[in-house]
Structure 1
Amino acid sequence: MITVKAPGKLYIAGEYAVVESGYPAIIVALNQFVTATISPSETIGSIVSEQYQENSIVWRRQGDAMVFDNRDNPFHYILAAINLTESYAHELGRELGVYHLGINSELDSADGKKYGLGSSAAVTVATVKALCQFYHLPMDKNKLFKLAAIAHLSVQGNGSLGDIAASVYGGWIAYHSFDRQWLHLQQAQSSLSDLLTMPWPDLKIELLTPPAALRLMIGWTGSPASTSHLVDKVALVKAKQRSEYQTFLKASKACLKRMITGFHHSDLHVIQTELRTNRQLLQKLGGFSHVTIETPLLQRMIQLAESAGAAAKTSGAGGGDCGIVLIDQTIDPRPLLTAWAHDGIEQLNLNVHTVQDTVLPNS
């Protein structure tokens, strides 16, 4: 049996702007994982998730096609990852097999609530990773990112794919999104093998080392949000509000550049200052695009953190889910946690997932 893991993520800064080609964001991988297990089967295969047991899929092989018995299923990202990875395996002359694929996610709460930790990206990465081992495909982190990004994009249709990068590389990363229009055109004329080896325009992934004094805290508001729907809403207004949107993009890029420099210099003050600047930029974006990025409870979470001497903002698309706090290790966080609990804000007691155990076979 093959077992692999892929971590969840949280956006620290650069949201919304990062969906534009070449624009940066800072993202962190967390020590909560999606685990994929795969074992060969003689005849009937299955896809089973501990979270969706009533919707497990049974399938068989008809030629090279996967034929499903179930009509409706929640496994779109898993299926896209299988389809793409098997296309790559087929290109490399592998004979496609039948197998049992098990998926177990720690990225949602025990009662199924979504925390906004990038479960769809981690599921995609874990599935691709498991199948690459199953078929003995040559794979390194760059190829894993590209394969998982293509699969994820085929389902979601928008987004920056930064959550895929965090799930592949681990740790703190600075991510510059690639040109998705270029990828769309290349897919029509290039083999997957070629796509995985060629450079992708504007793509840049850099591992960052946080200052020793930095403590990351995560507050969850108990209200899930749909990233793709919020990104769609902003996309609808960017043509109408072109000048405001371009101003936002330019300011976001400058802010993230300064923030990344803060990481290079281990300067917590600069990082916190730019986190606050990024929050203000997102508030302006929410204003002219009429998208609720900061819900009242997220505003309260941020206000309490700032009162405690920390810097805080929404994480990801906002509209619910999590807020993040960057606080000096010397500040006692307990009064802040007490204030959060009083207002119904739950601390997610998660740590950063570092990169030691993300080495891939055949890399």
Structure 2
Amino acid sequence: MTPRRPVARRAPGKLFVAGEYAVVDPGNPAILVAVDRHVTVTVSGRGLHSDGADVVISSDLVPGQGRWRWHDGRLHDGGGSGRPAPRGPDHVVAAIEIVARLLAERGLPPPSVEVSVSSRLHDNGTKFGLGSSGAVVVATVAAVAAFHNLELSPDARFRLAVLATAGLDSRGSGGDLAAATWGGWIAYRAPDRAAVLDLARHRGVEEALRAPWPGFEVCRLPPLPRGLALEVGWTGNPASTASLVSGLDRRSWRDGASHQRFVETTTDCVHASVTALRQGDRPGLLRQIRRARRELARLDDELGLGIFTPGLTALCDAVEAVGGAAKPSGAGGGDCGIALLDTEASSDISRVRERWTAAGVRPLPVRPAMEGNEE
């Protein structure tokens, strides 16, 4: 039943366009776009090996190979080789485990495979902040499932990816998983991750793929209005989304009027941006991106999260100086910022790139990727 040939699947990275921070709560909307840099995962058969490992994971992000063995439906490192597994494959392991749970529910044995990960979402091991963790989970789920002849819809692949990651990061929105699955420009609302984990725990993965998920919604959006270009700048400083988002959990803020105002304003900004994209309203979209920047700045001032670094501030200021709109993409604190600029004003785009470079911000040659995880 298992194909002999290796199976490779890839998934794109992402950029948040609007809705950051608010989207971590179920049902709050965000806009994301997939980018044309990918993580590729290749799965091949493991067969019989003397090292005792059931699963071997290698990646261009970490040296060496990780060897893993199945025990009670979970992968445990070591694999009998006497060598510890390399750090950093948690998301790959979680993705393999969730597919194994689905296989078990269908009466099939756990995967015995070799998994190889190749990423273009990093630079010499340093992440750009383009959603590499999400992309690797989606690509791993797709590749392992395809290797075992599991036919999965995009919705099923996304749901498996959420079930794999929700236990690793309870505050992750899953927006990166959605962008990696569907590609293009999307509007997204996060599911209640605690509820879906509980559903899978008590009723099984198969049922969790079929049942309604509270809060979850995803729909495709048109690309940018004619005359606008998406430019991306990388600050050179990797950021920890989990640690930044954890700052939202201060009870004094979440229980107050400021939190409600932030969610309401951000939600309205996302809805207005969706309308602008659907209507091809270039000035309207620029207004909303500037508004989103201001709202993130207000949140940063109130909670001291560190969203706006000097590099991100310089990135935004350079764009607004020529009439464009810019903001951090994602949690901020480093990583990337996005800019929308007039395609006909090539001198303005060149000027922005020069100012970015002078401020230590590296222009990234990325473009929207209309395809998501490929079958």
TM-score bucket (shorter structure) = over 0.9
1:59 is matched with which residue? 68
2:59 is matched with which residue? 49
- CA 1:170–1:287 in 2, change beyond 3 Å: closer, same or farther? same
The aligned amino acid for 1:76 is D
Query: What CA deviation, in whole Å up to 9, does each residue of 1:181-219 have, x standing for no partner?
Result: 322432332110010111211211111112122210001
Choose which of 267, 282, 293 in structure 2 pairs with 1:279.
293
Query: What CA deviation, in whole Å up to 9, does each residue of 1:270-303 have, x standing for no partner?
Result: 1110111111111111111121111111111100
1:217 is matched with which residue? 231
> CA offset at residue 43 of structure 1?
2.2
The aligned amino acid for 1:12 is V
The aligned amino acid for 2:18 is A
Deviates more, 1:281-290 or 1:176-185: 176-185
> CA offset at residue 359 of structure 1?
4.9
1:32 is matched with which residue? 37
The aligned amino acid for 2:214 is P
1:348 is matched with which residue? 364
> CA offset at residue 241 of structure 1?
5.5
2:126 is matched with which residue? 113
Counterpart secondary structure, 1:320: coil
Which whole-Å CA distance do the structure 1 matches of 2:252 and 2:9 have between them? 40
Choose which of 264, 278, 286 in structure 2 pairs with 1:250.
264
Deviates more, 1:176-185 or 1:219-228: 176-185
Which whole-Å CA distance do the structure 1 matches of 2:100 and 2:239 have between them? 32
Choose which of 178, 191, 194 in structure 2 pairs with 1:181.
194
Which whole-Å CA distance do the structure 1 matches of 2:368 and 2:85 have between them? 38
2:77 is matched with which residue? 68
Aligned partners of 2:73 and 2:101 also within 8 Å: no
The aligned amino acid for 1:134 is F
Aligned partners of 2:248 and 2:254 also within 8 Å: no
Query: What CA deviation, in whole Å up to 9, does each residue of 1:53-107 have, x standing for no partner?
Result: 23x2123456865443126621111111111111011111223341111001110
Aligned partners of 1:46 and 1:59 also within 8 Å: yes
Which whole-Å CA distance do the structure 2 matches of 1:202 and 1:65 have between them? 29
Which whole-Å CA distance do the structure 1 matches of 2:192 and 2:73 have between them? 31
Counterpart secondary structure, 1:46: strand
> Is it true that 1:129 corresponds to 2:142 in the alignment?
yes
Which whole-Å CA distance do the structure 2 matches of 1:299 and 1:307 have between them? 12
Query: What CA deviation, in whole Å up to 9, does each residue of 1:224-252 have, x standing for no partner?
Result: 11000000012225646621001110111
1:311 is matched with which residue? 325
What do you get for the CA RMSD once the two structures are aligned? Answer: 1.7
Where structure 2 has 5 or more consecutive residues not aligned to the other structure, the ranges are 1-5, 50-54, 79-83
- State the percentage of identical aligned residues: 33
Query: What CA deviation, in whole Å up to 9, does each residue of 1:104-126 have, x standing for no partner?
Result: 111011x2221100111011111
1:86 is matched with which residue? 100
Which whole-Å CA distance do the structure 2 matches of 1:238 and 1:218 have between them? 35
Aligned partners of 1:29 and 1:171 also within 8 Å: yes
Choose which of 138, 150, 168 in structure 2 pairs with 1:155.
168
Deviates more, 1:150-159 or 1:14-23: 150-159
The aligned amino acid for 1:162 is G
- TM-score, length of structure 1 as denominator length: 0.94
Aligned partners of 1:43 and 1:98 also within 8 Å: no
The aligned amino acid for 2:350 is R
> CA offset at residue 358 of structure 1?
4.1
Deviates more, 1:153-162 or 1:310-319: 153-162
Aligned partners of 2:18 and 2:31 also within 8 Å: yes
Query: What CA deviation, in whole Å up to 9, does each residue of 1:314-350 have, x standing for no partner?
Result: 1100011111001121121112111211222110001
Counterpart secondary structure, 1:74: coil
2:342 is matched with which residue? 328
Which whole-Å CA distance do the structure 1 matches of 2:255 and 2:316 have between them? 28
The aligned amino acid for 2:97 is N
Which whole-Å CA distance do the structure 2 matches of 1:72 and 1:38 have between them? 18
Deviates more, 1:186-195 or 1:159-168: 186-195
Which whole-Å CA distance do the structure 1 matches of 2:19 and 2:189 have between them? 10
Where structure 1 has 5 or more consecutive residues not aligned to the other structure, the ranges are none
Counterpart secondary structure, 1:293: coil
> CA offset at residue 165 of structure 1?
0.2
Counterpart secondary structure, 1:30: strand
Which whole-Å CA distance do the structure 2 matches of 1:286 and 1:209 have between them? 30
Choose which of 208, 212, 215 in structure 1 pairs with 2:221.
208
Counterpart secondary structure, 2:352: helix
Which whole-Å CA distance do the structure 1 matches of 2:100 and 2:305 have between them? 39
Aligned partners of 1:43 and 1:60 also within 8 Å: no
- TM-score, length of structure 2 as denominator length: 0.91
